[in-house]
Structure 1
């Protein structure tokens, strides 16, 4: 990724934070196996500051959309507290296999790691950490549904495990999916984020456009394609 390509993904910038549109298929940071990652390109996002910005939270490798960066230590501390306290609002868009019976609902299923040999793969576990996700149907057609998902907690793989557990796994999920996806990419997108960063001001609301790999499916599930 060139510096110009990295900068072209910028959705929001001020003195404290940046929000970028993370592409699907790249890890946000260097893993144990190495390989390309977004952090390796943050130098292009300094915009005059002495240090590169840093991650304020994480998105899965295959998830696209809004990713928040802190521009310096003070900003990262403030963002970390907001995330920890659950004050940052997150909205995801997902195409799922199947069709929920209701139009909206709340998934309240605790989650825990699957086992020590599977890294961060997760499972529903009554003894696990509390996890809640609100969902709403935005469109349905031919065995698929288009959902808005709002995680009320921030567990690893929460949306993917919750949707699968409810019988409507996210299209393109190779880990938790229950049907063949013909090599499709994960159809999970961090559509919007709301950050109450400044006192006496409305929360910042930043949106990321729908990624190209989701456009066809979403268009087929809506009367008009969502942009």
Structure 2
């Protein structure tokens, strides 16, 4: 498959920074018709050595770092595991939070009866924290900056839902009005900060939200 809308923001012998479009898997899915994905497209179009370090949901767009060798993969993966990276997302959420910023601290767990949904689960959930800040307020929604402290599946989407403000265009969690308010999931990984796996220099990369 061609790269098709995958932006290459940075490349050196150790890693790539790519901009993933919405409606593209980060890695192959289990079903045969889910084999097309970002990492496969990179491997087939000039970077056969590309290795996934972290993921974005199918509908989420934005920045990913891709390792180009085993040593870089090990070091970059360590940075994510040890929470040494910086990640900021831009989203559109339904309604208006009473405050302008806050912290969500709610444990999350997979919800098998409603797969692939996740849910707040105080008994079995894993600790999950998100910082949020309102950037702009519009008539029926607002633009927010989301900073995940932890990195759970669907964390930002479930946390904003729990706050009472589901993300626009979210086919898994939004109510009818919020779903109809945007033609795609309004969630974009807009800033990624990592340390260069060899030099140790801290680098920040930015991708403006397409909504």
Query: What TM-score, normalized to structure 1?
Result: 0.84
CA distance in 1 between partners of 2:70 and 2:145 (Å): 33
1: distance between equivalents of 2:114 and 2:163?
22
Give the C-alpha shift of residue 2 in structure 1: 2.3
- 1:118 Cα offset (Å): 3.7
Quote the residue 1:205 is aligned against. 204
The within-5 A match list for 1:146-157 is 146-157=143-154
Distance 2:74 2:93 in 1: 35
* C-alpha distance in structure 1 between counterparts of 2:193 and 2:142, whole Å: 25
Rounded to whole Å, the distance in 1 between the matches of 2:95 and 2:127 is 25
Q: Is the Cα contact below 8 Å between 2:106 and 2:120 reproduced in 1?
A: yes
| Residue 61 (structure 2) pairs with residue 64 (structure 1) | yes
Instruction: Name stretches of at least 5 consecutive residues in structure 1 with no aligned partner.
Output: 215-227
State whether residues 163 and 170 of structure 1, in contact with CA within 8 Å, keep that contact through their aligned partners in structure 2.
Answer: yes
Which of residues 4, 7, 24 is equivalent to 1:9? 7
Q: Per-residue CA shift, 1:46-105, capped at 9, x if unaligned?
A: 2xxxx4211100100000000110001111110111101011110000000011111111
Unaligned runs of 5+ in 2: none
Alignment of 1:40 with 2:40, yes or no, is yes
CA RMSD in angstroms, aligned pairs only: 1.8
Q: 2:135 aligns with which of 120, 138, 148?
A: 138
Structure 2 residue corresponding to 1:97, chosen from 94, 97, 110: 94
Partner of 1:218: none
What pairs with 1:1-227 in structure 2 (closer than 5 Å)? 1-3=1-3, 5=4, 9-34=7-32, 35=34, 36-43=36-43, 44-46=45-47, 51-115=48-112, 117-127=113-123, 128-180=125-177, 181-182=179-180, 184-197=183-196, 202-211=201-210, 214=211
| Aligned-partner SS, 2:41 | helix
CA contact (8 A) 1:120 1:156 kept: no
Distance (Å, rounded) in 1 between the aligned partners of 2:154 and 2:49: 27
Check conservation: 2:91, 2:167, Cα contact below 8 A: yes
In 2, the alpha carbon distance for the partners of 1:77 and 1:199 equals 11
* TM-score normalized by the length of structure 2: 0.90
> What stretches of structure 1 move > 4 A for 4+ residues in a row?
198-202
SS of 1:75's equivalent in the other structure is helix
Contact 1:45 1:53 in 2 (8 A): no
Residues 136-179 of structure 1: per-residue CA shift (max 9 Å, x gap): 11000101000000000000000000000001100000111123
The residue that corresponds to 1:222 in the other structure is none
The question of whether the paired residues in 2 share the 8 Å contact of 1:21 and 1:67 is answered with yes
